[in-house]
Structure 1
Amino acid sequence: MPARNNLKAIPAALAAAGFAASVSLPALGQGAGMLEEVIVTAAKRQQTLQEIPIAVSVVSAEIIEQSQVLDIKDLQTLVPSLRVTQLQGSAQTNFIIRGFGNGANNPGIEPSVGVFVDGVYRSRVGSALADLPKLERVEVLRGPQSTLFGKNASAGVINVVTAKPDLAGYSGSVSATLGNYNQKIVKGNFTGPISDNVAFSVSGSMNQRDGYYDNLELETEQNEINRWNLRGQLLWNPSDRMEVRLIADSDGIDEQCCGVANIVNGPTGAVVQALGGNLVPEAPFAYEGFYDFDPQNRIDTQGLSMQIDYDFDSFTLTSITAMRKLEQFDLGDVDYTSARLVTPDAANQRDTEIDTFTQELRLTSATDGPLQWMVGAFYFTEELTTEGSFGYGDQFRSYADFLTQAGTGGALNLAIIEAIYGVPAGLSFAEGQGFPSESYALDDDTLSLFAQVDFDLTEAMTLTVGANYTESDKQASANLVSTDVFATLPFGGTPFAGLQGLQFLPPYLNYPNSVEDGKSNDDDITYTVRLAYDLTQNINVYGGVSTGFKASSWNMSRDARPLASDLAALGAAGLLVPNITAGTRFAGPEESTVFELGLKAEFDTVSVNVAVFNQEIEGFQSNIFNGVGFNLANAGKQSTDGMELDVTWVPIDGLRVGFAATWL
């Protein structure tokens, strides 16, 4: 089949280097400008951006609006260390920070970059792709953050903070935007008090745009936008000590996405054309292709969360409880040509449902003094089910017959092979054969305990020490039904061994079974040690080491195969299926480490942040598409070195100039 590549461009972050620049002119004033103080909660306590010794980029609501950033994917235009790759579907998206990231295309993998919205963990990218609601800010924490965020933050964190309801008075806004490709965006929000201590807010948006990728076969368009979101909040302040925030949200995406490009027209391209199919060969930026049916992407996600903060005399108690549901459906023409090689009604379709519950409790010191501390616990439980199918189209037998004859110099065809092996004539690669039923399930229970202490060694020097213990228990299962008769034929060790290349859908060995229990249990202790020193009132430097951890990920695809070490026991138990090969059912944990030096300087009109780092992940969970499924395995060690620069300048009132760059 022809090679293909993602059509989406990545304008703001490159593999080797990236930069972003912005100029904001809301209203030009007359006097000298002054930098505003930026408050962040990257360390789960309120601190200013300049005093927190962490490499973090903060994008305010004002900058997001002026830059026309609509969703998390667009943040890469403002944060060069963040790269977002969207692949062949709306939800097949990877968030990558400092070169690290994974999770697309395989629901059994949680991303290495954790996404949190108002303190609630979004366990899959699909639940974080909706257009952004009314915001306060977005924080992008670079490097492993497992000490405080615990759950799968081995590469970094995107922390979205939305605006609270307003107790002071009523306000709201409505906006409408028109763009090319018939784009229409409507957004609105309203907030105000219900009583002296209760306030509410509601917001919603609708975003639609025609596609810009032409399907030449059906004269349709792909890469469209069709999404909406609704969000409601209640804020209750029963006393000066207590605040309760209740949030309910619902988001939807229903799109035909995404067109791909042919970058290498391989030898099977001619076979596709001989069958009457077509493709656009070797044109990465043609923005057009031939498909016998359009892809479908539907994502619906809903959530309910409650945050309670209570101020005691010497500490603050915070509780965040949340329930979320993600429903995701994907269907695609996976041969990416107009040849009917896969069936439209069962063409690599996948229907996934994920239910999560999270509970976080933490105590944070609230007194002055040389010692500031935080302790907490985080519990996560998730139930995932995903069902799918794969079926050959009505032209696949002819396609396979071409390859059979080419591979045997014209001496054999499928009819001869069927006669030799006693297969009913015409059954090999018949329409609908393949995997008519695929069913996977994954249950995850995770507990994290964390603590962090900031101790002022002197008036100018602060030592930070933090630790996290995480334990994750997972139970996975797979039940697949194979009807591909050709894949069961014993070609190995015969004159027909060359035909094994066409047995790319061998029968699947379901699990758990008497040899494979489908369970993984992982635990790890991560830590942070950091020293910060105030050179002057305006300049401080810091240095330290942090580690991160992500638990095992299970391969929820038809290419999950038993370990080579289990084949003998499976054979002894009589469980082996025809033509089975070894592989992996899951990839073990990721463990990351970063060494970092940083400088933060802030004056009246200019701020400069610099970070130099060396970061590596041991046991990186590599998820590689092999044409029919995904090979998931630990790919040894991955490492990066780099430097990040972030400069903000306010020369006069109303004019803000920002520059950010990453060398990786």
Structure 2
Amino acid sequence: MMRKLACAVFALALSLGAIQAYAQENVIEEIIVTSEKRAENIQNVPIAVSAYDQESLDALLINDAMNLQFNVPNMMVSRYNFSGGGSVRLRGIGSGAVGSAGDSGVGIHFNGLYLNSSRLFETQYFDVERVEILRGPQGTTYGRNTTGGVVNMISAKADTTEMSGGVTANFGNYDSREFEGFINLPITDTFAIRVAGQYQKRDGFIENAHTGDDIDDRDLFAVRVSMTWEPTEDTSLAFTFQHFEEDDKRTRSQKQACNRDPSGFLGCLPTGEMSYGPANGASTITGELFGTIGGILNGGIQTLNLFGYGLPIPGMFPADDFINSDTPQDPRKNNLDWTPVYKAEETMISFEFTHDFGNMTLTSITGWHDPEVYSEEDYEKSVASENWAAQLQALATLAAVPALPAAVAPALVGGPAEGLIPFIVELAPGLGYGLWAGNPALATYANGVPLLMPDGSVQSFNTAFGYDQSTSDPEQFTTELRLASNFDGDLNFMVGGFYMDYESEAHYVVRSTSLALIGQILPANPFLFPAPFGDPNNPQDEVNPHMQGYDNDTREYKLKTWAIFGELYWDISDRLSATIGLRYSDEKKSSKQRTCYLTFLQCGPFDPEGQSGFFFPSYKDDEITWKANLAYSVNDDLMVYGTVSSSYKSGGFNPISDSDQLVIDDPSNAVFRPETITAVEIGFKSTLMDGAMRLNGTMFYYDYEDLQVSKIVDVTSLNKNTDAEILGIEAEMLWLATPNLQLSFTGSWLDTKIKDFTDYDTADPNGDGSTGGLIRCNASVFLDTSPNGCGAGRIPGVLISQNGNELAQSPTLSFNVGASYQVDTGAGLILTLATNYYWQDSFYVRNNNAPHDKVGSWDVWNASARLSPSNATWYAEAWIKNITNDDYVVQQYLSTQVSGLFTNQFLLDPQTYGLTVGLNW
């Protein structure tokens, strides 16, 4: 099949060379890119690359990365379930591994500077010179984590030749206000400064029915200062400072979906139709442990009554706290008792030095990057319908009665109340109280369960209530040095070196009243109800673990990596050229981290520095990647090329210690291996009809070894490796059909296959949608054939072959068609009418390819009408996005068994429209 497709592509390319050009005035403007780290016409670069300048971005209504994907073949950008920003994939490759040591397969660059953690997918594009998207592995010139490709955003530089400026104002529905502006000031003939800024504020896309407020709003701004100094004709220095801040109610996901399991075993069933609502709480860790404390509470009171206490029996805690919760079925409405909080900051500084020696050019790029993000969100995405008033009052009542005398204990031994002795019998003769009976600390539960709040205060609740906190605080230093020749002969070269020092801290905490109550009143707590200590807003200073439920803490993740690389360019003839590249990369990763599943059991209760439970994994590897490319110019308007290349992405350690049951069961689970790719790509680039049409096409084949994949097991990420194959075709066309009419098309076809990999499905342990023959342990599910239950040798599910399954997030087909038409109004004004339509095929969100993993096909249709004078000094534009106002699900995330296997969903933005006015000088 590969040979047939290759022949078809080359036959098409050769036929294009035979097309007879015809004279016409309209010619597509030339695009200059630096995709090979040297300035070239995009049509002369033998790489699949798309590029958009600020004018093109505005015309296509692309103001952020989410909208960029609609115009780039085989590009997918989506929100992310955690606080790591957006997720970008090219040709099905992106962030396969989850955790501190996991990396993206798409390299994100700002002005050529590699960013290990970026907020570029949350900010708006403003004052952009160009955005370049390189599809396919870039294992030599870009190197690190580019198995899928590269996205490089290049900001506008300060210009020493003339003063210029511009401002735009945008007003739309959802009370949206956006303002952008820049001013370029040449201070001298050799020095200039450019200042640009952007501000956005709008109401939320989602209504919180519980409070009547809206959420998922935006309130952010960014400012950039650029300076250029050209002390000589051969030397230039460019400095860029950029700062971004956000403080709003952005949500990490919009809705929670589930096909509720009535049996309460799985929480959400892996079959049948999903609706919006919470999982069956009986399946969660809360439901499981509440059965335990409810039994102790009721059994203890019944036993005390046998001795004449006469206390009311409260009944059991609710098996499902959300059984009657009101969950709106409108995808744009939620019912939340916790309002999201989202705060982010990002500072970038870059310095680029270039000196031309005549036949060689030296370039140095150095940068510092400091992004931070903090978020809070309602964990259950629902308001509990049941309350614990009777049970909590019973606990408070126990505080007021004396415990049974110690002398009674022998009479209870061997009977049904033996396990209740520590709770209702005095702990020592004459003490007068047990863990519960007679303990005055229980009196506070008449007011509810105390829970630590993000501001350090403690509030009490008598219902199930929980929220999570996610923080990330990385810092990066990067430098790259390149020397490129510019000889008159047939041979040229480029050599360089790269170094990055990256450190990060991340903290994810779930605090809930249910787990807090369990941790506070069960004897795992050696001293009941200690007050919170430490600073709850500082991840370095641990708080009382009995007031939370889950803690994933990465204190000191460190990454040091360096590389040397080079490419040789050989003009074999006037029409045939070759490129050979080589890169050596070396990486070292280390961390101090822990994951406390039930913090009251696994995190020390008296550990103010939060040192208990940490482990110190490390990982290192190195790799040589290479590239060989041939490009042939059939004529001045047609080039065909072929490339064979390799690339790699470093492996790492999973966020589990050697003592974790997952590692005990399978020691290979401690780490995941590096992924490597061998890629074959052929393509053509053509300029037809005397420059009126640009038509490019690419076909590629990837052979992946140890592709990194991930799933959640026992509330932690488990990253593994699989082999895979990817085959694809891409096309891009831009045609000035007449001087007034422009037509565009991008299309892609992708065929992905997993090879020789078996795994079990955490959402469907039996592999057939049934729940029979399963057992539970701390809310995790295992086959009843597990020889030791929760211990070693446990069997988490039936192994199912994934051989031939599609890779996650890899739609088979996608395309975009667009048109713009200019009308001369006769009054010196030009009216430009534009529209574009994007369609994407269905895809799976997990490699299991289960029915609930499938996201259906979706589309989006946008349009605009712009009025401006012929000199374009000002413009006014009316625009509309998502004309049909569809509420498509564009991404999903499956939660854990202990949370009930609910699915978080991410939605396409609703219909937005507005008016933009701009002024340029």
Normalising TM by the smaller chain, what interval? 0.7 to 0.9
1:598 aligns with 2:718: no
| Distance change (3 Å), C-alpha of 1:338 and 1:319 | same
| Distance change (3 Å), C-alpha of 1:335 and 1:214 | same
Q: Distance in 2 between matches of 1:182 and 1:565?
A: 50
**Which range moves more in the overlay, 471-480 or 190-199?**
471-480
Q: Distance in 2 between matches of 1:622 and 1:301?
A: 29
Instruction: Classify the secondary structure of the residue corresponding to 1:636.
Output: strand
In structure 2, the partner of 1:404 is none
TM-score by length of 2: 0.58
In structure 1, the partner of 2:254 is 260
In structure 1, the partner of 2:572 is 457
1:304 to 339, 344, 349: 349
In structure 2, the partner of 1:392 is 512
1:446 to 550, 554, 561: 561
Q: Distance in 1 between matches of 2:554 and 2:335?
A: 30
Instruction: Classify the secondary structure of the residue corresponding to 1:50.
Output: helix
In structure 2, the partner of 1:49 is 42
Instruction: Classify the secondary structure of the residue corresponding to 1:643.
Output: strand
5 Å-filtered alignment, 1:232-243, equals 232-243=225-236
Q: Distance in 1 between matches of 2:74 and 2:624?
A: 26
Question: Shift in Å at residue 455 of structure 1?
Answer: 0.8
Larger Rg: 2
1:607 to 672, 694, 702: 694
| Distance change (3 Å), C-alpha of 1:279 and 1:210 | farther
Question: Shift in Å at residue 219 of structure 1?
Answer: 2.2
In structure 2, the partner of 1:511 is 615
In structure 1, the partner of 2:860 is none
Number of equivalent positions: 578
Q: Distance in 2 between matches of 1:377 and 1:312?
A: 19
Q: Distance in 1 between matches of 2:469 and 2:481?
A: 39
In structure 2, the partner of 1:350 is 470
Contact 2:644 2:679 in 1 (8 A): yes
Contact 2:118 2:371 in 1 (8 A): no
Contact 1:476 1:554 in 2 (8 A): no
Instruction: Classify the secondary structure of the residue corresponding to 2:125.
Output: coil
Deviations 1:540-578 (A, max 9, x none): 1111211111112444x5x566587975xxxxxxxxxxx
Q: Distance in 1 between matches of 2:112 and 2:126?
A: 15
Contact 1:88 1:257 in 2 (8 A): no
In structure 2, the partner of 1:66 is 59
Question: Shift in Å at residue 250 of structure 1?
Answer: 0.3
2:632 to 510, 522, 533: 533
Q: Distance in 2 between matches of 1:390 and 1:460?
A: 62
What amino acid does structure 1 have at the position aligned with 2:239? L
Contact 1:110 1:124 in 2 (8 A): no
Q: Distance in 2 between matches of 1:157 and 1:615?
A: 16
Question: Shift in Å at residue 368 of structure 1?
Answer: 2.5
Contact 1:139 1:159 in 2 (8 A): yes
In structure 2, the partner of 1:245 is 238
Deviations 1:303-345 (A, max 9, x none): 1111011000211000001111111112222222223999764
Q: Distance in 1 between matches of 2:662 and 2:210?
A: 48
| Distance change (3 Å), C-alpha of 1:622 and 1:174 | same
2:104 to 100, 111, 117: 111
Contact 1:255 1:296 in 2 (8 A): yes
1:621 aligns with 2:708: yes
Q: Distance in 2 between matches of 1:324 and 1:470?
A: 21
Contact 2:83 2:472 in 1 (8 A): no
In structure 2, the partner of 1:576 is none
1:373 aligns with 2:493: yes
2:223 to 216, 220, 230: 230
Question: Shift in Å at residue 457 of structure 1?
Answer: 1.7
5 Å-filtered alignment, 1:165-184, equals 165-184=158-177
Q: Distance in 2 between matches of 1:280 and 1:597?
A: 55
Contact 2:546 2:600 in 1 (8 A): no
Question: Shift in Å at residue 264 of structure 1?
Answer: 2.0
| Distance change (3 Å), C-alpha of 1:436 and 1:72 | closer
Deviations 1:19-70 (A, max 9, x none): xxxxxxxxxxx97311211111101111111111101111222110122212
1:472 to 561, 580, 587: 587
Q: Distance in 1 between matches of 2:376 and 2:714?
A: 16
Contact 2:336 2:383 in 1 (8 A): yes
Deviations 1:244-283 (A, max 9, x none): 0011110112232324323323234454895357656695
1:316 aligns with 2:361: yes
Structure 1: which 5+ runs fail to align?
1-29, 401-413, 489-506, 513-517, 568-579
Contact 1:265 1:282 in 2 (8 A): no
1:275 aligns with 2:362: no
Q: Distance in 2 between matches of 1:554 and 1:93?
A: 23
| Distance change (3 Å), C-alpha of 1:53 and 1:279 | farther
Contact 1:177 1:184 in 2 (8 A): yes
Q: Distance in 1 between matches of 2:100 and 2:54?
A: 31
Q: Distance in 2 between matches of 1:73 and 1:306?
A: 28
| Distance change (3 Å), C-alpha of 1:424 and 1:442 | closer
2:729 to 630, 640, 643: 643
Q: Distance in 2 between matches of 1:92 and 1:161?
A: 20
What amino acid does structure 2 have at the position aligned with 1:123? N
Q: Distance in 2 between matches of 1:126 and 1:109?
A: 17
Instruction: Classify the secondary structure of the residue corresponding to 1:77.
Output: helix
Question: Shift in Å at residue 527 of structure 1?
Answer: 0.6
Instruction: Classify the secondary structure of the residue corresponding to 1:249.
Output: strand
Question: Shift in Å at residue 611 of structure 1?
Answer: 0.1
Instruction: Compute the RMSD of aligned alpha carbons.
Output: 3.3
Q: Distance in 1 between matches of 2:73 and 2:237?
A: 36
Question: Shift in Å at residue 425 of structure 1?
Answer: 10
Instruction: Classify the secondary structure of the residue corresponding to 2:257.
Output: coil
Q: Distance in 2 between matches of 1:425 and 1:166?
A: 67
| Distance change (3 Å), C-alpha of 1:617 and 1:227 | farther
Q: Which has the higher contact order (CA 8 A, sep 6+)?
A: 1
Q: Distance in 2 between matches of 1:590 and 1:452?
A: 23
Q: Distance in 1 between matches of 2:679 and 2:710?
A: 23
Question: Shift in Å at residue 89 of structure 1?
Answer: 5.4
Instruction: Classify the secondary structure of the residue corresponding to 1:620.
Output: strand
What amino acid does structure 1 have at the position aligned with 2:254? V
TM-score by length of 1: 0.80
Q: Distance in 2 between matches of 1:104 and 1:630?
A: 8
